[in-house]
Amino acid sequence: MSAFIFDDCIFSKDLKVECDRQGLVSTQRLEDDLRGKEDCIVLPAIVNRGSVLVTEDRRMAEENAEFLSNDHPGLLVVASEESTKTLTGRLVRAILNRLKSVLPNWHSVTMRNSIVEVTQRTVFVYHADRGTIHYDRHMPLDDPKMLEDLVTILNRNASKPWSRTLPTGAE
Amino acid sequence: MNDRHGAGNAPQEGTQHLAHLTSRSSRVARRPKALPWGSGRARLVESWGTEGPPGAAPEGLHEEYLGWAAQVSADWLEQQKRAGAVDYHIVGHVWLMQRLLSAARDLTQLITLDPAVRGGVPVLTGTRLPLARIFAEVAENRPLSEIAEDLELPAESLMQVFRALAGSLERPYAR
């Protein structure tokens, strides 16, 4: 069973209860010792615990990409596509429920080595390599090919093909 | 405090580009080039008509202007008002920005502004919870007690934020 940790910024009891009720993944709130801590402390701590971090903080990945450059369990960023619409617990649940509805096997889909950003209408996939975030693809949630494309790109990232394409002698 | 600005709030470091606004004894409130004065200002006042400003800042009322409003000293503004050099709407902006600045001072104990925490988004101290989310939750018509329970936070910590804001807006406008 995959494990997800909710960042403080995205946590709500209702969200956790809803996820737990489904019983498909294990969820947890960010531990007390990490609450209020810097991004560069939170991110590696969660990565080392082998859980997917669910956050609304997209900058966390951008500014701490070095912690995501080796094997990591994945990062799920929930964001609002409308810049004037601040994320609330209700909006986060709506966005995640939409993703779950178009990706019925979401709980068994690997997010390993991927940074997945989901909004009201779109899923973006990125990966980190040598301290830099690289864009992979984005897919509208209402695109019939979205499911296939998303699973393909997530599986590809899980195997880290970019780490095998380094030129000889690099690093 | 800076004599140029009387006993009020003098412009702070890092706002040198705004200094000329308050350094002259001109009867006209000076401004940086990009401010919506001139035709922009006329449009602004025109758009408000006789009913006063709308709820949201009119288009063209950009950050530099609001930054200026936050820096102007109360005494300097009073002099300008007496001299008839600034209009009522400008006084309103200045008042609002200064009250918000005052709220920010009160809120410094309650919020954390750290580029390393949540990328610098203001968060409730001791958490990684953005303040913006609390307001957005309230705007969804949720009671503070319910929000606190959902976020597993003491309701008191949320109430303090609102008390600080309320306190900052108690002062009368344009007396």
Q: Is the ipTM of this complex over 0.95?
A: no
Please tell me the predicted confidence (pLDDT) of residue A25: 93
Q: Is A14 on the interface with B (CB under 8 A)?
A: yes
* Dist. CA B45–CA B69, nearest whole Å: 16
The mean pLDDT of chain A is 90
| C-alpha distance from residue A69 to each of A24, A47, A52, A79, A123 (Å) | 28, 11, 15, 22, 21
Nearest CA in chain A to B131: A9
- Domain limits, chain B: 3-93, 111-167
Q: Is A93 on the interface with B (CB under 8 A)?
A: no
Please tell me the predicted confidence (pLDDT) of residue A27: 95
* Dist. CA A68–CA A65, nearest whole Å: 5
Spell out the CATH class of B111-167.
mainly alpha
Per-residue pLDDT tens for A36-53? 899 999 999 999 999 999
Which of A115-119, A137-141, A154-158, B119-123 shows the lowest per-residue confidence on average (mean pLDDT)? B119-123
The mean pLDDT of chain B is 67
**CB spacing of B119 vs A59 below 8 angstroms:** yes
Q: H or E element: which one contains B17? A: helix B16-23
**CB spacing of A13 vs B127 below 8 angstroms:** no
Please tell me the predicted confidence (pLDDT) of residue B103: 79
Please tell me the predicted confidence (pLDDT) of residue B105: 78
Find where tokens 């790109």 sit: A153
- Domain limits, chain A: 3-162
Q: Is A35 on the interface with B (CB under 8 A)?
A: yes
Q: Identify whether the C-beta of residue B124 lies closer than 8 Å to the C-beta of residue B153.
A: yes
Q: Is A14's pLDDT higher than 50?
A: yes
Nearest CA in chain B to A55: B118
Please tell me the predicted confidence (pLDDT) of residue A164: 63
Nearest CA in chain A to B129: A9
Please tell me the predicted confidence (pLDDT) of residue A130: 87
Q: Is B66's pLDDT higher than 70?
A: no
Q: Give the pLDDT band of residue B96 (cuts 50, 70, 90).
A: confident
Note which residues in 132-161 of chain B have CB less than 8 A from chain A: 132-133, 135-137, 140, 149-152
Q: H or E element: which one contains A4? A: strand A3-6
Please tell me the predicted confidence (pLDDT) of residue A54: 96
* Dist. CA A134–CA A112, nearest whole Å: 15
Per-residue pLDDT tens for B51-62? 434 443 444 555
Distance in Å, alpha carbon of A99 to nearest chain B alpha carbon: 22
The residues, any chain, with a CB within 8 Å of residue A94's CB and separated by 6 or more, are A120
Q: Give the pLDDT band of residue B67 (cuts 50, 70, 90).
A: low
B51-87: buried (b, 16+ CB within 10 Å) or exposed (e) per residue? eebeeeebeebeebbbebbbbbbebbbeebbeeeebe
Please tell me the predicted confidence (pLDDT) of residue B31: 38
Q: Give the pLDDT band of residue B100 (cuts 50, 70, 90).
A: confident
Residue A143 CA, chain-centre distance (Å), reads: 20
- Among B114, B116, B127, the residue with its CB nearest the CB of A8 is B127
Spell out which residues of chain A touch residue B119, defining contact as CB-CB under 8 Å.
39, 57, 59-60, 63
> Smallest Cα–Cα separation from B45: which of B33, B54, B32?
B54
* Dist. CA B102–CA B167, nearest whole Å: 9
Q: Is B1's pLDDT higher than 50?
A: no
Per-residue pLDDT tens for A51-88? 999 999 888 998 999 998 889 999 999 999 877 789 99
Among B112, B123, B128, the residue to mutate for chain A (most A Cβ within 10 A): B128
* Dist. CA A128–CA B75, nearest whole Å: 54
Give the phi and the psi of residue A40 in degrees, each rounded to 5.
-75, -10
Please tell me the predicted confidence (pLDDT) of residue B52: 38
Spell out which residues of chain A touch residue B157, defining contact as CB-CB under 8 Å.
none
The strand pair at B111-112 and B123-124 is best described as: antiparallel
Q: H or E element: which one contains B12? A: none
Instruction: State what percent of residues in chain A have pLDDT above 70.
Output: 95
Per-position DSSP letters for B47-113, written without gaps between them = HHTTS---SSPPTT--HHHHHHHHHS-HHHHHHHHHTT-S-HHHHHHHHHHHHHHHHHHHHTTTEE-
The stretch B115-126 carries a mean pLDDT of 90
Q: Identify whether the C-beta of residue B9 lies closer than 8 Å to the C-beta of residue B98.
A: yes
Q: Give the pLDDT band of residue B85 (cuts 50, 70, 90).
A: low
* Dist. CA B123–CA B129, nearest whole Å: 5
Residue A145 burial by CB count (10 A; 0-12/13-18/19+): exposed, middle or buried? exposed
Nearest CA in chain A to B126: A36
Please tell me the predicted confidence (pLDDT) of residue B40: 41
0.80 surpassed by pTM: no
